[in-house]
Amino acid sequence: MSDRIFGAFGLLLALFYAWATLQIEESFLSDEVGPKTFPLVIAAILGLASAIIALRPDKDPVWPPLGRLAEIGAAVVVMILYAQYLPEAGFVIATALAASYLTWRLGTRPLQSLLVGACTSVGIYVIFHLVLGLSLARGPLGF
């Protein structure tokens, strides 16, 4: 039963995501693909996966223990805080903090998590901002 509820929720989320994407106003200067294509592809994949989960539920689902659910909830909170503070902290700092926390919760040692978070953040910044020229949120340090 829980798989059907999860699948139905995912399907509703996909429909809402597609609707929100269709509300994007396109500029007459946009390229052939446009700003709607990628989000619509994500909505389609989410909808298809959710439909499969709803139509073919697991016969005997096993829920994680309460402690694991709390960790999942904490990861969701970290991602919400990441989105909230990205403009103020900037891409490099916000991404380093979020990646450090998430890798730590995945099982790496704290010092190793800080190193992985910093390297991930700087690596993504170099590729997307310096190489590809994409605009990323600037922080108090100017990058």
The pLDDT confidence band at residue 1, using thresholds 50, 70 and 90, is: confident
Per the document, the length of the chain is: 143
Q: What are phi and psi of 109, to 5 degrees?
A: -70, 155
Cα separation, 18 vs 41, in Å, equals 9
Give the pLDDT confidence score for residue 25 in this predicted structure: 80
Inter-residue contact 53 to 10 (CB < 8 Å): yes
By residue range, what is the domain housing residue 10?
A: 1-63
Average pLDDT, the chain: 90
pLDDT for 61 equals 79
Residues 31 and 74 in one domain: no
pLDDT above 70 for 29: no
Supply the pLDDT for residue 33: 66
Instruction: Give 30's pLDDT tier (boundaries 50, 70, 90).
Output: low
Last residue of a domain, one of 63, 88, 111: 63
Residues 117 and 84 in one domain: yes
What stretch of H or E contains 124? Answer: helix 110-125
With H, G, I as helix, E, B as strand and everything else as coil, classify residue 103.
helix
